[in-house]
Chain A
Amino acid sequence: MATARTSQDCLTNVETLEQIKDRITHVLPGARLEIVPNESPSGQRSLLVDHEHAGAIATFLRDDAELRLDYCSNATGVDWPEAVVKTKIKKPVVTDGVEKEVEETVDALRSGYLEAVYHLYSVAKKHGPVILRLRTGNRTDKVTLPSLTPVWRSCEYQEREIFDLFGIKFAGHPDLRRILMWDGFVDHPMRKDYVEPDDFEYEPTPHDAVLERAKTHYPSEVKT
Chain B
Amino acid sequence: MSATLETPAKNYELRPKLSDDGETELLEVSMGPHHPSTHGVFRMDVVLDGERVVRLKPVFGYLHRNHEKIAEGTSYLSSMPYTDRLDYFCSLTNNWAYALAVEKLAGLQVPERAEYIRVITAELTRLQNHTCLIGFLMQDMGALGTPLMYAFREREKILDLFEALTGARMMCNYMRFGGCRVDLPPGWLAAAQRIVDEYPRFLDEFETLLSGNEIIIARSQGIGVLPRELAVNAGITGPVARAAGVDYDLRKVDKYGIYDRFSFRVPLGDHGDTYDRYMIRILEMRESLKILQQALKDIPAGPIIDPKAKLRGFRPKAGEAYGRIEAPKGELGFYLISDGGPNPFRYRVRPPSFINLTVLEDMCLGNTIADAVITLGSVDIVLGEVDR
Check if B169 is an interface residue, CB within 8 A of chain A: no
Chain A residues engaging chain B, CB cutoff 8 angstroms: 1-3, 5-6, 8-9, 38-42, 44, 70-74, 76, 78, 117, 119, 123, 126, 129, 131, 152-158, 165, 178-182, 189-190, 194
How many chain B residues touch the partner (CB < 8 A)? Answer: 58
Asked whether B322 lies within 8 Å of A129 as measured between CB atoms, the reply is yes
25 A-B Cβ contacts within 8 A?
Answer: A2-B112, A3-B112, A3-B257, A6-B256, A8-B254, A39-B317, A39-B319, A40-B107, A40-B319, A41-B319, A42-B104, A42-B107, A42-B321, A73-B333, A119-B322, A123-B247, A129-B322, A131-B322, A153-B234, A153-B358, A154-B358, A156-B358, A157-B355, A189-B69, A190-B66
Check if B33 is an interface residue, CB within 8 A of chain A: no
Check if B357 is an interface residue, CB within 8 A of chain A: yes
Check if B163 is an interface residue, CB within 8 A of chain A: no
Asked whether B235 lies within 8 Å of A44 as measured between CB atoms, the reply is no
Q: Name the residue in A117, A123, A126, A131 with the highest tally of chain B Cβ atoms < 10 Å from its Cβ.
A: A123
Closest-CB distance, A36 to chain B (whole angstroms): 9
- 0 or 1 for each of B207-238: is its CB under 8 Å from A? (1 = yes): 00000000000000000000000101111110
Chain B residues engaging chain A, CB cutoff 8 angstroms: 60-61, 64, 66, 68-69, 104-107, 109-112, 115, 230, 232-237, 246-248, 253-258, 260, 302, 306, 316-324, 331, 333, 335, 337-338, 346, 348, 350, 354-355, 357-359, 387-388
> Which chain A residues lie closer than 8 Å to B236 at the CB level?
154
Closest-CB distance, B364 to chain A (whole angstroms): 16
> Which chain A residues lie closer than 8 Å to B350 at the CB level?
73-74, 76, 119
Asked whether A189 lies within 8 Å of B66 as measured between CB atoms, the reply is yes
Closest-CB distance, A83 to chain B (whole angstroms): 9
Asked whether B354 lies within 8 Å of A157 as measured between CB atoms, the reply is yes
State in angstroms the CA–CA spacing of A9 and B246 once bound together.
23
Asked whether B106 lies within 8 Å of A39 as measured between CB atoms, the reply is no
State in angstroms the CA–CA spacing of A2 and B322 once bound together.
21
State in angstroms the CA–CA spacing of A16 and B259 once bound together.
26
> Which chain B residues lie closer than 8 Å to A180 at the CB level?
60-61, 64, 387-388
State in angstroms the CA–CA spacing of A181 and B69 once bound together.
14
> Which chain B residues lie closer than 8 Å to A181 at the CB level?
61, 64
State in angstroms the CA–CA spacing of A175 and B320 once bound together.
30
State in angstroms the CA–CA spacing of A9 and B257 once bound together.
14
> Which chain A residues lie closer than 8 Å to B232 at the CB level?
70-71, 123
> Which chain A residues lie closer than 8 Å to B69 at the CB level?
189-190, 194
Closest-CB distance, B179 to chain A (whole angstroms): 10
Asked whether B233 lies within 8 Å of A41 as measured between CB atoms, the reply is no
Given contacts A2-B109, A153-B234, contact A44 B322 (CB under 8 A): yes
State in angstroms the CA–CA spacing of A8 and B324 once bound together.
11
Closest-CB distance, A157 to chain B (whole angstroms): 5
State in angstroms the CA–CA spacing of A1 and B109 once bound together.
9
Asked whether B337 lies within 8 Å of A70 as measured between CB atoms, the reply is no
Asked whether B348 lies within 8 Å of A38 as measured between CB atoms, the reply is no
Given contacts A41-B107, A180-B387, contact A73 B66 (CB under 8 A): no
Closest-CB distance, A114 to chain B (whole angstroms): 12
> Which chain B residues lie closer than 8 Å to A156 at the CB level?
234, 358
Asked whether B104 lies within 8 Å of A3 as measured between CB atoms, the reply is no
Asked whether A41 lies within 8 Å of B106 as measured between CB atoms, the reply is yes
